[in-house]
């Protein structure tokens, strides 16, 4: 059963087992950031906390972020995510968003930052006035999936470096997995970890994951599942 937790007067997180999604309310409308893993009723869950017209944005199209998409006519999503969404999703049509776009919920502007790597169309969302960054799967203390189609660890590093340039605009990060919330300093640590992996300096362990052999790299701050070379 998904658990709804109020973060502040106009922001909620919904803990859906291994993943979380969010409901944000502005003066005019509300936005869900992702729609969960086991919650085709994600829209109904959101409507228990807000009466404002509700829209949906997906940080990316992995299965654990789109289970409730079918209830929506459209979802804000990066068009670079089309291939991934086509393979994993159904329901809501993509309404494209890109770097620099601002969705305003009414006195609550949300700025889109493209952060390809975990998936080609992964985005982070800057809740400008609240100084919060919603990071999807790309910045988190759990294990970041970097194996299989659509993943690219080399792209991930410049995306994280870009987030560092926004560093003076947020104080805290709300990730989709792992500990909640996390410190902005985690971004630099993840860059370091990704570099060590790419440079062949990190020590990994072969593991079985959903029938795939992957390499698991565990750092003190987070882990990565990577392609077995
Ligand atoms: Zn995820």
170-185 pLDDT, tens digit per residue, is: 999 999 999 999 999 9
Query: Is the pLDDT assigned to residue 189 strictly greater than 90?
Result: yes
Q: Which fold has domain 3-142+151-201?
A: Metallo-beta-lactamase; Chain A (3.60.15)
CA of 47 to the centre of ligand 1 (A): 23
Average pLDDT over residues 97-116: 98
Parallel, antiparallel or unpaired: strands 54-57 and 172-175: unpaired
Beta bridge partners of 206: 215
130-160 burial, b for 16+ CB within 10 Å, e for fewer? bebbbbbbbbbbebbbbbeebbebebbbebb
Output the pLDDT for position 75. Answer: 98
pTM over 0.95? The answer is yes
CA of 134 to the centre of ligand 1 (A): 13
CA of 100 to the centre of ligand 1 (A): 23
- Per DSSP, the three-state class of 22 is strand
Output the pLDDT for position 26. Answer: 98
Distance CA 99, CA 114 (A): 5
Average pLDDT over residues 148-166: 96
Output the pLDDT for position 210. Answer: 87
Q: Which two tokens stand for residue 39?
A: 């919650």
CA of 147 to the centre of ligand 1 (A): 13
CA of 196 to the centre of ligand 1 (A): 23
Q: Of 51, 12, 6, 49, give the one whose Cα is nearest residue 34.
A: 12
Q: Of 160, 207, 219, give the one whose Cα is nearest residue 227.
A: 207
Average pLDDT over residues 85-89: 81
CA of 97 to the centre of ligand 1 (A): 19
CA of 96 to the centre of ligand 1 (A): 20
Output the pLDDT for position 91. Answer: 81
Read off the pLDDT band of 89 (50, 70, 90).
low
Average pLDDT over residues 25-54: 97
CA of 118 to the centre of ligand 1 (A): 9
Q: Which residue has the higher pLDDT, 77 or 89?
A: 77
CA of 115 to the centre of ligand 1 (A): 14
CA of 195 to the centre of ligand 1 (A): 22
Residues 6+ apart with CB under 8 A from 95: 74, 75, 76, 77
CA of 139 to the centre of ligand 1 (A): 11
Q: What is the pLDDT of residues 53-66, one digit of tens each?
A: 999 999 999 999 99
Answer yes or no: are the C-beta atoms of 21 and 5 closer than 8 Å: no
Average pLDDT over residues 96-125: 98
- Per DSSP, the three-state class of 53 is coil
CA of 144 to the centre of ligand 1 (A): 8
Residues 6+ apart with CB under 8 A from 110: 24, 31, 57, 102, 103, 104, 125, 126, 127, 128
Query: Is the pLDDT assigned to residue 221 strictly greater than 70?
Result: yes
CA of 175 to the centre of ligand 1 (A): 9
CA of 80 to the centre of ligand 1 (A): 17
Average pLDDT over residues 200-205: 96
Average pLDDT, the chain: 96
In order of 31, 114, 148, 208, the CA distances from 211 in angstroms are: 35, 31, 12, 6
Residues 6+ apart with CB under 8 A from 164: 187, 188, 191
């Amino acid at each position: 059963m998904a658990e709804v937790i109020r973060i502040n007067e106009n922001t909620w997180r919904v803990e859906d087992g291994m993943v979380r999604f969010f409901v944000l309310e502005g003066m005019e409308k509300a936005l869900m950031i992702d729609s969960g893993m086991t919650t085709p009723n994600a829209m109904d869950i959101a409507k228990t906390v807000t009466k404002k017209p509700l829209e949906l944005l997906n940080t990316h199209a992995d299965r654990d972020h789109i289970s409730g998409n079918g209830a929506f006519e459209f979802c804000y999503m990066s068009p670079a995510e089309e291939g991934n969404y086509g393979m994993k999703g159904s329901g809501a049509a993509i309404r494209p968003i890109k770097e620099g776009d601002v969705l305003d919920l009414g006195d609550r502007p949300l700025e889109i930052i493209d952060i390809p790597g975990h998936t080609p169309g992964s985005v982070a969302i800057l809740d400008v006035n609240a100084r919060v960054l919603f990071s999807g799967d790309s910045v988190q203390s759990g294990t970041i999936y970097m194996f299989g189609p659509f993943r690219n660890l080399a792209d991930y590093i410049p995306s994280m470096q870009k987030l560092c340039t926004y560093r003076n605009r947020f104080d805290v990060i709300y990730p989709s997995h792992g500990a909640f919330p996390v410190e902005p300093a985690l971004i630099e640590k993840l860059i370091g970890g990704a570099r060590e992996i790419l440079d062949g300096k990190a020590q990994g362990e072969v593991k079985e994951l959903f029938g795939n052999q992957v390499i698991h790299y565990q750092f003190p701050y987070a882990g990565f599942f990577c392609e077995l070379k």
